[in-house]
Chains A and B, each alone.
Chain A
Amino acid sequence: MIISFIISGSTFIITDLNSALIKEHAYLDPGSGSFILQLILAALLGSFFVFKSYWKKIINFLRGKSDNEHKDEGE
Chain B
Amino acid sequence: MSRANTIVQPLGSSFRDPSGFLFRKDGVLYRQVNQVHKEDYQQLMDSGLYQNLVAAGLMIPHREAPFDLALNESAYKIILPEPVTFISYPYEWCFSQLQDAALTTLKIQKRALEFGMILKDSSAYNVQFQNGRPVMIDTLSFESYHDGCPWDAYRQFCQHFLAPLSLMSYRDIRLGRLLRVYIDGLPLDLASRMLPRRSRLSITLLMHIHLHAASQSRFADKQVKTKRRVSKRGLLGLIDSLESSIRRMRWSPKGTEWGSYYDVHNYTQDGLQHKQQTVAHFLVEAKPAIVWDLGANVGIFSRLASEMGISTIAFDNDPGAVELNYQECISKGEKKLLPLLLDLTNPSPSIGWHNEERIGLIERGPADAVMALALIHHLAISNNVPLDRLARFFHQLCKWLIIEFIPKSDPQVKRLLSTRKDIFENYNQDNFEYAFQEYFKISRKQVIRDSDRCLYLMEAHD
* Distance between Cα atoms of A49 and B208 in the complex (Å): 16
- Interchain CB contact under 8 A, A43 and B18: no
Is the C-beta of B218 less than 8 angstroms from some C-beta in chain A? yes
Provide 29 A-B residue pairs closer than 8 Å at the C-beta atoms, listed in order of the A residue: A2-B206, A3-B214, A6-B211, A7-B214, A16-B226, A17-B226, A19-B225, A19-B227, A21-B225, A25-B18, A25-B143, A27-B121, A28-B156, A30-B154, A31-B216, A32-B219, A32-B221, A33-B212, A34-B158, A37-B207, A37-B212, A38-B230, A39-B230, A42-B238, A44-B237, A45-B238, A46-B233, A46-B234, A52-B240
* Distance between Cα atoms of A7 and B222 in the complex (Å): 14
State which of A28, A32, A35, A39 has its C-beta within 8 Å of the C-beta of B220. Answer: A32
- Interchain CB contact under 8 A, A32 and B223: yes
Given A42-B231, A43-B234, are A10 and B225 also a contact pair (CB < 8 Å)? Answer: no
Is the C-beta of A62 less than 8 angstroms from some C-beta in chain B? no
- Interchain CB contact under 8 A, B230 and A42: yes
Chain B residues closer than 8 Å to A39, beta-carbon distance: 150, 226, 228, 230
Is the C-beta of B215 less than 8 angstroms from some C-beta in chain A? yes
* Distance between Cα atoms of A37 and B361 in the complex (Å): 39
Chain B residues closer than 8 Å to A49, beta-carbon distance: 233-234, 236-237, 240-241
Q: CB-defined interface of A1-12 with B at 8 Å, one 1/0 digit per residue?
A: 011101100100
Chain B residues closer than 8 Å to A38, beta-carbon distance: 150-151, 154, 230, 238
Residues of A within 8 A of B (CB): 2-4, 6-7, 10, 13-14, 16-21, 23, 25-28, 30-39, 41-50, 52, 75
State which of A3, A37, A45 has its C-beta within 8 Å of the C-beta of B234. Answer: A45
Q: CB-defined interface of B98-121 with A at 8 Å, one 1/0 digit per residue?
A: 000000000100100000000011
Chain B residues closer than 8 Å to A43, beta-carbon distance: 234
- Interchain CB contact under 8 A, A41 and B226: no
* Distance between Cα atoms of A13 and B228 in the complex (Å): 8
- Interchain CB contact under 8 A, B154 and A34: yes
The distance from the CB of A69 to the nearest CB of chain B, in whole angstroms, is: 16
B212's nearest neighbour on chain A, judged by CB, is: A37
- Interchain CB contact under 8 A, B150 and A21: yes
Instruction: Give the residue among A4, A28, A47, A49 with the most B Cβ atoms within 10 A.
Output: A28
Chain A residues closer than 8 Å to B330, beta-carbon distance: none
* Distance between Cα atoms of A52 and B244 in the complex (Å): 12
* Distance between Cα atoms of A68 and B127 in the complex (Å): 27
State which of B18, B219, B237 has its C-beta within 8 Å of the C-beta of A42. Answer: B237
Chain B residues closer than 8 Å to A26, beta-carbon distance: 120, 152
Residues of B within 8 A of A (CB): 16-19, 36-37, 107, 110, 120-121, 143, 149-156, 158, 206-208, 210-212, 214-231, 233-238, 240-241
Chain A residues closer than 8 Å to B208, beta-carbon distance: 41
Given A25-B37, A45-B234, A48-B237, are A13 and B150 also a contact pair (CB < 8 Å)? Answer: no
- Interchain CB contact under 8 A, A14 and B237: no
The distance from the CB of A56 to the nearest CB of chain B, in whole angstroms, is: 11
Given A43-B234, A45-B240, are A27 and B17 also a contact pair (CB < 8 Å)? Answer: yes
Chain B residues closer than 8 Å to A20, beta-carbon distance: 223-225
The distance from the CB of A24 to the nearest CB of chain B, in whole angstroms, is: 9
The distance from the CB of B87 to the nearest CB of chain A, in whole angstroms, is: 22
Instruction: Give the residue among A26, A32, A41, A50 with the most B Cβ atoms within 10 A.
Output: A41
- Interchain CB contact under 8 A, B223 and A31: no
Chain A residues closer than 8 Å to B234, beta-carbon distance: 41-43, 45-46, 49
- Interchain CB contact under 8 A, B235 and A7: no
Chain B residues closer than 8 Å to A41, beta-carbon distance: 207-208, 234, 237-238, 241
- Interchain CB contact under 8 A, A25 and B36: yes
A sample of 16 more A-B contacts (CB under 8 A), given A17-B225, A21-B150, A50-B233, is A10-B215, A14-B224, A16-B227, A16-B228, A18-B227, A19-B225, A19-B226, A21-B225, A28-B120, A28-B121, A30-B150, A33-B220, A42-B230, A45-B237, A46-B237, A49-B234
Chain B residues closer than 8 Å to A19, beta-carbon distance: 225-227
- Interchain CB contact under 8 A, A7 and B152: no
Chain A residues closer than 8 Å to B221, beta-carbon distance: 32
The distance from the CB of A74 to the nearest CB of chain B, in whole angstroms, is: 9
- Interchain CB contact under 8 A, B235 and A42: yes
The distance from the CB of A70 to the nearest CB of chain B, in whole angstroms, is: 14
The distance from the CB of A12 to the nearest CB of chain B, in whole angstroms, is: 10
